[in-house]
Amino acid sequence: MKRELLGVIDATTYHDDLEDLLTHRSLAALPFAGRYRIIDFVLSNMVNSGIRSVAIFPKMQYRSLMDHLGSGKNWDLNRKRDGLFFFPSPIVDFDGNKIGSFENFAANLDFFYRSTQEYAIITNCNTVFNMNFRPILDWHSRSGCDITEIHHKDGGSMEMYLIKTSLLIKLIETRNETGYTCMNDVVNDLQNLYSVCHYEYDGYAVMIDSIENYFSTSMNLLQSEVWQQLFPKDQPIFTKVKDEPPTKHVKGSEVRNSMIANGCVINGSVENSIISRGVKIGKGAVIKNCIIMQKCQIEENCYLDSVILDKDVKVEAGTHLSGTAQSPFVIRKGTQQGALMNS
């Protein structure tokens, strides 16, 4: 098919800095903004750009990612032709931080042979942004470049590459002769045979690679300019649907400058925080500058400042926990925090 894009998401990325949040999941499945996983942004962008075939290449710890994506139905990718493809890496030991590893793609070369889309866009999985790829495809095909690398106006590469599918296949096939191991090798080789162009993107975009920037990017959501750029009505971010009721603000609760997902029951006070689905906050509890993930239970009279609670954490009544913006206090998934544990 002419002028169609194939979506390729490299979900092998891992950052040691995020270890506390990645013991049970891959980076792609990291919860973000109360009801999403990080991969929802790039995946929804692809769908909103008219991409109908998306291949995801994960590595290790992909149970939560698979559970999240399912058949792709929530992204309208459960199609008879094309749709969502999931290619877990058969190679255990390779450098996961090179986006677009040819060795990894090579294990599923048949998929690329079979794809009818003329162009492919290869991206990482951990960027928070809302971008339509269609204008880049137009720009790319007009420019006559072999490869377009998306750059951010404030920084360097966004680790996203637009390329003809046939050229991608050639790069994968010839990886042993050329020595190129990934897309990054190709675009950074000054001697290479291919013309590489940079497309400059000036919208909001952050690559999540540490607890500190996960925390600050989450807090940025509370600024309406950021919020409006990430969640415009005409380019929604899709995610796995949960059937939670609307959030109940109980008598005596107080909420300021916060984002709250569905299914929460709020008795205490919440300020400058991101609260995920199904969180229960007890009477007299104070939550400030926190990220509280799904189904956490915070009992009465707790005080939490600059804390990240991973999923299913239970905080017993009267517990005080504090971190800082540079180093938020992170509580791992499924644990229990007692008032006496940290005193």
Partner 1 sequence: MAKKKCVAMLLAGGKGSRLNSLTKELAKPAVPFGGKYRIIDFPLSNCANSNIDTVGVLTQYQPLLLNSYIGIGSAWDLDRKDGGVTVLPPYAESSEVKWYTGTASAIYQNLNYLKQYQPDYVLILSGDHIYKMNYENMLEYHIEKRADVTISLIEVPWNEASRFGIMDTDEDLRITDFDEKPDNPKNNLASMGIYIFSWNILKEYLEMDERNPDSSHDFGKDVIPMLLEENKKLFAYPFKGYWKDVGTVKSLWEANMDLLSEDCDLDLFDHGWRIYSVNPNQPPQYISSDAIVKESLINEGCTIEGEVDKSVLFQGVTVGKGTIIKESVIMPDAIIGSNCLIEKAIVQEDVKVPDGTVIRSFDDEIILVTNEMLSGLYPAF
Instruction: Point out which span in 20-28, 187-195, 249-257, 303-311 binds partner 1 (CB under 8 A).
Output: 249-257
Q: How far is CA 131 from CA 78, 156, 163, in A?
A: 22, 17, 18
94 counts as binding partner 1 under rule CB under 8 A: no
Q: Which of 119, 161, 238, 303 binds partner 1 (CB under 8 A)?
A: 238
Q: Which of 260, 296, 302, 304 binds partner 1 (CB under 8 A)?
A: 260
- DSSP annotation of 240 reads -
Residue showing tokens 């029951």: 265
Q: Which of 7, 34, 282, 328 binds partner 1 (CB under 8 A)?
A: 34
Query: Token pair of 327, please?
Result: 């180093």
Facing residues of 330 across strands?
Answer: 308
Q: Which of 134, 170, 249, 288 binds partner 1 (CB under 8 A)?
A: 249
DSSP strand pairing (205-207 vs 127-129): antiparallel
Q: Compute the least distance from the CB of residue 18 to partner 1, in Å.
A: 22
Determine whether 261 is exposed, middle or buried from the number of CB atoms within 10 Å of its CB (0-12, 13-18, 19+): buried
Instruction: Point out which span in 2-10, 29-37, 83-91, 206-214 binds partner 1 (CB under 8 A).
Output: 29-37
Q: Compute the least distance from the CB of residue 272 to partner 1, in Å.
A: 8
Q: Alpha-carbon distance 82 to 97, whole Å?
A: 28
Q: How far is CA 17 from CA 32, 101, 129, 208, in A?
A: 16, 22, 21, 10
Residue showing tokens 């899709």: 238
Binding flags for partner 1, 274-293, as an x/- string (CB under 8 A): xx------------------
Q: Compute the least distance from the CB of residue 274 to partner 1, in Å.
A: 8
Q: Compute the least distance from the CB of residue 40 to partner 1, in Å.
A: 10
Q: Are 272 and 216 in contact (CB under 8 A)?
A: no
In degrees and rounded to multiples of 5, residue 335 shows phi and psi of: -95, 170
Q: Which of 141, 231, 235, 316 binds partner 1 (CB under 8 A)?
A: 231
Q: Which of 101, 104, 124, 239 binds partner 1 (CB under 8 A)?
A: 239
Question: In the complex, which residues of this chain contact partner 1 (CB under 8 A)?
Answer: 33-35, 73-74, 222, 224, 227, 230-231, 236-239, 241, 243, 245-251, 253-263, 265, 274-275
